[in-house]
């Protein structure tokens, strides 16, 4: 079955990072994983070490990233399931989540997964 990922970059509302992380871990990720075709998720926080500035470099706008793994014959079906009224109603919101800064995309693999040879 074809595999994809969905990335979601976001930020907490200023001063509400603890609440944001608790909501994401306890509610949001489990709620989203109830969506058919989403099979796994992993959250990340922006590391304190980043690339040095170079011409054209844009500093990160987001502090957090979630990578959702998707298995589906139809990415359009997954998109439609995610945004269906039933799914949206089931997902618990949080006002600690800064919805004005969200950045979300689907990605499709374009080559094999390469593992370092030791």
What is the pTM for the complete model shown?
0.92
pLDDT digits 0-9 by tens, 102-114: 999 999 999 998 9
Question: Looking at residue 38, what is its pLDDT?
Answer: 97
Ordered domains of the chain (ranges, CATH): 3-49+58-107 (3.30.70.100)
- Residue by residue, what is the 3-state secondary structure of the chain? CCEEEEEEEECECCCCHHHHHHHHHHHHHHHHCCCCCEEEEEEEECCCCCCCCCCCCCCCCCCEEEEEEEECCCHHHHHHHHCCHHHHHHCCCCCCECHHHCEEEEECCCCCCCCCCC
Question: Looking at residue 57, what is its pLDDT?
Answer: 86
Residue range 77-85: average pLDDT? Answer: 96
pLDDT of 51 > 90? The answer is: no
Average pLDDT, the chain: 95
């Amino acid at each position: 079955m074809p595999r994809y990922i969905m990335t979601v970059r976001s930020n907490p509302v200023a001063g509400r990072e603890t609440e944001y992380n608790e909501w994401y871990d306890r509610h949001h990720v489990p709620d989203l994983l109830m969506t058919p075709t989403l099979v796994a998720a992993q959250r990340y926080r922006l590391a304190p070490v980043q690339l040095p500035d170079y011409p054209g470099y844009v500093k990160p706008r987001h502090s957090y990233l979630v990578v959702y793994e998707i298995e589906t014959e139809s990415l359009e079906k997954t998109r439609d399931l995610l945004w269906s009224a039933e799914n949206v109603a089931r997902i618990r919101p949080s006002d600690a989540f800064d919805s004005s800064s969200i950045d979300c995309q689907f990605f499709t693999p374009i080559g094999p997964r390469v593992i370092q040879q030791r």
